[in-house]
């Protein structure tokens, strides 16, 4: 039987958002999970944009509007939307280097009875999600 376990924590100034989520996945032994909610502020943003190759890095204040993604034991696949100081929204595939400026409130969900992994898909050229059920 499967169940869902919530995991919530707060990150503070200087934390790398993606690495901190991966650390939480390992600490809580998440075999399959997702981001339920994530809000806060960044001082640095690093994302891969929609062409799948180009990256965008900016050092300025950002408000995190949303983060979504899947969590596997060795990899977190996360997308982020942020607003700059004028309210303009930008987003993409979150990379290491998204640095918390003040705080980030993170709520994750752990799915017992499931396993998520990633395998190379020759059609997309990326490692794609594989779902297994106990």
Q: What is the CATH number of the domain that holds 38?
A: 3.30.1330.80
Q: Looking at residue 79, what is its pLDDT? A: 98
DSSP per position, 43-84: EEEEEE-TTSS-EEEEEEEEEEEEEEEEE-SS-EEEEEEEE-
* Placement of tokens 């400026």 in the chain: 101
Residues facing 94 on adjacent strands: 47
pLDDT in tens, 38-97: 999 999 999 999 988 899 999 999 999 999 999 999 999 999 999 999 999 999 999 999
Q: How many domains does the chain have?
A: 1
On average, the pLDDT of the chain sits at 96
Q: Looking at residue 33, what is its pLDDT? A: 98
| pTM (2 d.p.) | 0.93
* Placement of tokens 């997309």 in the chain: 124
Over residues 90-107, the mean pLDDT reads 98
Q: Looking at residue 134, what is its pLDDT? A: 83
The range of the structural domain enclosing residue 116 comes to: 4-133
Over residues 114-131, the mean pLDDT reads 94
Q: Looking at residue 1, what is its pLDDT? A: 61
Q: Looking at residue 94, what is its pLDDT? A: 98
Token digits of residue 37: 């909610």
Q: What percent of the chain has pLDDT over 90?
A: 93
């Amino acid at each position: 039987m499967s169940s869902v376990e919530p995991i919530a924590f707060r990150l503070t100034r200087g934390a790398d958002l993606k690495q901190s989520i991966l650390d939480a996945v390992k600490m809580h032994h998440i075999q399959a999970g997702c981001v339920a909610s994530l809000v806060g502020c960044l001082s640095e943003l690093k994302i891969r944009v929609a062409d799948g190759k180009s990256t965008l890095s900016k050092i300025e204040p950002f408000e995190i509007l949303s983060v979504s993604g899947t969590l596997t034991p060795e990899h977190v696949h996360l997308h982020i939307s942020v607003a700059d100081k004028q309210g303009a929204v930008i987003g993409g595939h979150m990379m290491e280097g998204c640095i918390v400026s003040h705080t980030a409130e993170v709520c994750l969900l752990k799915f017992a009875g499931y396993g998520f992994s990633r395998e190379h898909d020759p059609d997309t050229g990326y490692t794609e999600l594989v779902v297994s059920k106990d």
